[in-house]
Every structure is written in structure tokens, then in C-alpha cells.
């Protein structure tokens, strides 16, 4: 069916939401094509997209279709699964609360219990709620760190982990079997209404208690470190301020960014990966002579860090803040005799090398996963069951980490508490966080990690993304900026190769990722974003000094820009 035919089908359907019908009446031909040329993809990460009318948008009808598919999947697992039900959380974005309670009604119409938070909550607390209430699954309405125009829909299994591909495929099959999203009803009887249970305070307190339990040095001197904190208008405001306050830390909130504003009115961007997320916090830090800034993204699964370096505040990458957490946690576990036998840490194929080097220095093995914290959650569950290895940390380069696995997703409140503790611990020794990071560089090597991307929106953009990735496979890079590629990995074809030939790449599910290892110890990886219309390029560049690594990165970036043009 063409975009125009889909548009007409929606316009003439009696169940079309009136607000969406009004929006459609104002669309021009290009907007109609973008909104209806395809169905919004329900993939292994759920759905994420621009809010609005259309089959290729996030709206009440596409959310209902996804929820009905999930409901059919749950009911296919028997009456006990329906009775255990689904925990539902949501963030501050436009329509998040409406989508959450509408999803609960669709579940109730299909005989499924739900536990819906009374107001916005962090993604990690939703993961915790699935486990705490012994649910069969979870739904989180969020677009994470995306711009305000976006919203999304993430699904969780009974362990509080985002659905891994095998489970996601079963749900996707059910979602795709729903032929008419406009016919999915959220009308329920008074008896079905009883299946919707609103949760809040009790779940909060249990989650806060577990977060506080991760402390390694709860009695560390805290009155010498000032912490500026921003939730970027999102879900971390109450949890992080409560937890840090209860534990005795000096927290200075960025008040203008503490209200749950769906337009993110007082921040240029809610994404901790971008400098704009820190603009107002930096002013607060300067006015209060703060030592560190902690910033969470809207659904509180990612934490960004700014810390003093030679007296000036400087933003850390997710690789750097992750490496700092690794150094502090592993050092303290070792010093206290609490490092378990056969310790293992997880990170992804696009995460930088420094953290892995630090882990090895403490005798901790690192296992790689694909991008997406669900794969780390899957690893946690595996070793929890067979006891072959003991989890001690997991993280991604995109500012997400998990310290204690009572949650099975990235957990910024945990990261904020541990980073605050580390800052106080090191300040008592006369060190800043940057001093510690520089010590790690001196010991393990100088790495410069960064990322570039090309945004390619719409139908033409999707085609260009495929063209770029296919081109890189057909014309594989043998050198980059004059430096030889000594090994490559293709996670889609499940192959890797070097001068000795091509072999099978094992241990990963199929994913559209390419990675090139260079003769100088650097690597570069390319993948389409799973949440935005972008191709991302990741760089982990090794040099003899920090300055040399940055200079090399500039050269590689220029080459890759031409490759992606």
C-alpha cells in the first residue's frame, strides 16, 4: 500500500484519534510520504520515533498495536503469565503518561494485570519494578536522550532485561500480525479496570534501598566535595537527589532543569553526550566552585560527568567516566578482599579499550557484547544461572553503566552515587577524578575516544544508510589515513579477517556493524543508529601521549567523513 493509500485509509477510518486527524489535515505531500511510506519499525529495541500522525510515527494507534502484540505474546505463554502481569513506567515526554495508561487498558482488555507508576520514573526503576513485583514483563514509555519531538516504547522480560533478539522476534511476529492498528481498542469494563494497579512509594523505597546498598565507603568524608546535579527535566530529579541527600552528599540542583518539562525548555539538549546538556550546570558549578557535575538523561539510564582538571571543569566521555568507575570499584573490592572469584566485566564492541586494560590489571576478564544493554543483561542472567563467572561491572561508551545487577538495564542513580563516592574518596587523597584518569593513561596507554555521525532522515535517508553500509562491505577499507587495517570484523556477515584469511565471527547475533583494527593499536567501528536516522562512527585511537592520540583522531575523522559523504 502506498503512502497516499495509507493516508486515505487513516483519514477515512472511524476510530482515528481526532487530534491526529486534525494534524493530518495540515500535511503537505512530503510530510504525508514521510509519515506513511512505511510502518514504524518494532525491532529488538522496541520502537522509537517522532511523535505524530502516521504509520511511521509514535502515536496512540501504533502504541496500541505494539501493546496488543505484546498482550498476545503474554497470553500465548499461559494464564500464569497474564496473572503475573506487566510493570509500566514512563518519562516526562509528550504523551508518555497517556501512552502508559492506554497500554495498561489494552492489556486489561486482554485479561492481563498491570502495575503502572503513578508518575514519571527512571527506566532502571521500571526494570527493578518488574523484578520486585514478579511480573512477566515490562513496558517503558521513553525516547531516552532523543530530542523532544520523539517518544518510544521499550519491552522487558521477566528478569527486567530488555528483550533479547530471540524473545523480541516472538513479540515482533505478534505485533506484525496485527493488521489494523486503528481497530485496536482500549475500551475496558469496570471489572477489567481492576486489573490495573497503580504503584509508587513502596516500590520507590525498595529501589532506593538497593541503590544505597552499593556503597563501598559509606563513611567517606563528603563535606569537601560540591556536586552540581541536573536531571535535564527528566525522571532522575527525585531519585538521585533523594539518594545522594540521604547518603550525606552536598548536592546543588540545577533548579531550572528539575521540573518535568516535555519541551526541555531550559536545556539545549537532554543528551549527556552533547555539550549543550551542561551549559546551565556549568554556570551553577562556576558560581558555587563545584568539584563535579552529574547530568542524567531524561529516563535516567545514562550519566554524564564534568570534573575539575587543572582548576577548570572539563567534560568526560562515557568511556572515561566508565574507566574511572572501574578503577575505583575494582581497587576498593580488591583492597577490601571483596573481589569475587572468576570476576567478569561486560562492555560492547564499540566501547573503548582503557576500561578493559584497567580490568585486566585487577584480574577481571572482559566479555564483549553488541551495542544494547540487553546483551549485557543477558550475560548477567547466564552467569547468575551457571555460576561460572561473577559479575562485577557492565558499561557502554554511551554513558550507561550497571554496578549491581538488581536492575538489568543501565542505572544512572547507581552511577551517580558511586561517582560521588569516588570523587570524595580521591579528594581526601588530594586527587581529582582527572588526576586518577591520567594515572590510568600513564599506566595502561593513552586512548582518545570520540564519535561522529551522519544524519540521514526520511525514505531517501534510509536508502542512503543502506548504501553506505553496503559500500563499505563491497569495498572494504584496507588502510585509513595511511595506516594499515590489520583485522576487520563484520557482525552482519558474521565474518572476521586478516592477512591470513577470513574466518567465522562467533559469539554474537547478526548486527549491522563493521569494525576495523589498525596497525597502530587504534580501531574504528561503523553502525547505523538503532534509535535515530544516523550512521555512527566510533573511534578508539591510541597514541604515545594524549596530544598525539587527539591529532591522530583528527586525521582518521577527516578520512571517514569522505568515506561517508
Nearest alpha-carbon partner for 524 in 547, 555, 546: 555
- CA dist list (Å): 117 to 74, 130, 452: 20, 12, 37
Distance between CA atoms of 240 and 263, rounded to whole angstroms?
21
Instruction: Give the three cell numbers for residue 402.
Output: 550497571
Residue 353: DSSP 8-state: S
CB 423 within 8 Å of CB 251: no
Distance between CA atoms of 241 and 487, rounded to whole angstroms?
46
* Catalytic residue flag (residue 144): yes
Contact residues for 34 (Cβ-Cβ < 8 A; gap 6+): 54, 56, 457, 458, 459
Catalytic residue, from 114, 144, 511, 522: name it.
144
CB 196 within 8 Å of CB 116: yes
CB 433 within 8 Å of CB 423: yes
Nearest alpha-carbon partner for 487 in 531, 444, 518: 518
- H or E, element range at 565: none
Contact residues for 120 (Cβ-Cβ < 8 A; gap 6+): 89, 90, 91, 92, 96, 97, 234, 235, 260
Distance between CA atoms of 474 and 483, rounded to whole angstroms?
20
Angle value at C-alpha 18, between 13 and 20, nearest 5 degrees: 85
Distance between CA atoms of 482 and 64, rounded to whole angstroms?
52
User: How many alpha carbons fall within 13 Å on the CB side of residue 141?
Assistant: 32
Return the active site residues: 144
Amino acid at each position: 500500500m502506498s503512502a497516499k493509500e495509507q493516508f486515505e485509509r487513516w483519514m477515512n477510518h472511524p476510530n482515528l484519534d481526532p487530534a491526529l486527524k486534525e494534524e493530518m489535515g495540515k500535511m503537505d505531500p512530503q510530510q504525508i510520504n514521510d509519515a506513511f511510506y512505511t510502518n514504524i519499525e518494532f525491532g529488538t529495541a522496541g520502537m522509537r520515533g517522532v511523535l505524530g500522525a502516521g504509520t511511521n510515527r509514535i502515536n496512540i494507534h501504533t502504541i496500541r498495536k505494539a501493546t496488543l502484540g505484546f498482550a498476545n505474546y503474554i497470553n500465548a505463554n499461559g494464564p500464569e503469565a497474564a496473572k503475573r502481569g506487566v510493570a509500566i513506567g514512563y518519562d516526562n515526554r509528550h504523551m508518555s503518561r497517556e501512552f502508559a495508561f492506554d497500554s495498561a487498558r489494552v492489556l486489561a482488555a486482554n485479561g492481563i494485570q498491570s502495575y503502572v507508576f503513578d508518575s514519571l520514573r527512571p527506566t532502571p526503576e521500571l526494570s527493578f519494578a518488574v523484578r520486585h513485583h514478579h511480573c512477566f514483563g515490562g513496558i517503558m514509555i521513553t525516547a531516552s536522550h532523543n530530542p523532544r519531538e520523539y517518544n518510544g516504547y521499550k519491552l522487558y522480560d521477566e528478569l527486567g532485561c530488555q528483550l533479547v533478539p530471540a524473545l523480541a522476534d516472538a513479540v515482533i511476529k505478534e505485533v506484525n500480525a496485527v493488521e489494523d492498528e486503528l481497530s485496536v481498542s482500549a475500551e475496558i469494563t469496570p471489572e477489567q479496570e481492576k486489573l490495573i494497579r497503580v504503584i509508587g512509594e513502596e516500590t520507590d523505597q525498595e529501589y532506593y534501598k538497593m541503590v544505597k546498598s552499593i556503597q563501598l565507603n559509606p563513611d567517606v568524608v563528603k563535606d569537601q566535595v560540591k556536586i552540581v546535579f541536573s536531571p535535564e527535566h527528566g525522571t532522575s530529579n527525585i531519585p538521585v537527589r533523594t539518594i545522594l541527600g540521604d547518603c550525606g552528599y552536598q548536592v546543588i540542583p540545577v533548579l531550572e532543569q528539575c521540573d518535568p518539562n516535555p519541551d526541555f525548555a531550559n536545556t539545549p539538549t537532554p543528551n549527556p553526550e552533547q555539550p549543550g546538556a551542561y551549559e546551565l550546570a556549568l554556570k551553577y558549578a562556576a558560581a558555587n566552585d563545584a568539584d563535579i557535575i552529574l547530568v542524567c538523561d531524561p529516563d535516567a539510564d545514562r550519566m554524564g560527568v564534568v570534573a575539575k582538571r587543572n582548576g577548570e571543569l572539563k567534560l568526560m566521555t562515557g568511556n572515561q567516566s566508565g574507566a574511572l568507575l572501574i578503577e575505583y570499584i575494582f581497587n576498593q573490592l580488591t583492597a577490601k578482599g571483596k573481589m569475587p572469584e572468576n570476576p567478569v566485566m561486560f562492555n560492547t564492541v564499540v566501547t573503548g579499550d582503557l576500561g578493559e586494560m584497567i580490568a585486566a590489571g585487577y584480574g577481571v576478564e572482559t566479555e564483549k557484547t553488541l551495542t544494547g544493554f540487553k546483551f549485557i543483561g543477558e550475560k548477567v542472567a547466564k552467569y547468575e544461572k551457571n555460576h561460572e563467572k561473577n559479575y562485577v561491572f557492565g558499561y557502554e561508551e554511551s554513558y550507561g553503566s550497571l554496578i549491581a545487577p538488581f536492575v538489568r538495564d543501565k542505572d544512572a542513580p547507581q552511577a551517580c552515587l558511586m561517582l560521588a563516592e569516588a570523587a570524595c574518596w580521591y579528594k581526601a587523597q588530594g586527587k581529582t577524578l582527572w588526576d586518577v584518569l591520567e594515572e590510568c593513561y600513564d599506566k595502561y596507554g593513552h586512548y582518545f575516544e570520540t564519535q561522529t555521525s551522519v544524519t540521514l532522515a526520511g525514505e531517501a535517508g534510509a536508502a542512503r544508510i543502506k548504501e553506505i553500509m553496503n559500500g563499505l562491505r563491497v569495498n572494504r577499507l584496507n588502510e585509513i589515513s595511511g595506516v594499515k587495517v590489520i583485522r576487520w570484523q563484520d557482525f552482519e556477515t558474521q565474518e572476521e579477517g586478516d592477512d591470513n584469511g577470513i574466518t567465522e565471527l562467533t559469539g554474537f547475533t547478526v548486527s549491522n556493524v563493521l569494525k576495523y583494527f589498525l596497525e597502530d593499536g587504534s580501531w574504528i567501528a561503523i553502525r547505523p543508529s538503532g534509535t535515530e536516522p544516523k550512521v555512527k562512527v566510533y573511534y578508539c585511537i591510541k597514541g604515545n601521549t594524549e596530544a598525539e592520540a587527539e591529532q591522530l583522531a583528527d586525521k582518521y575523522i577527516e578520512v571517514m567523513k569522505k568515506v561517508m559523504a
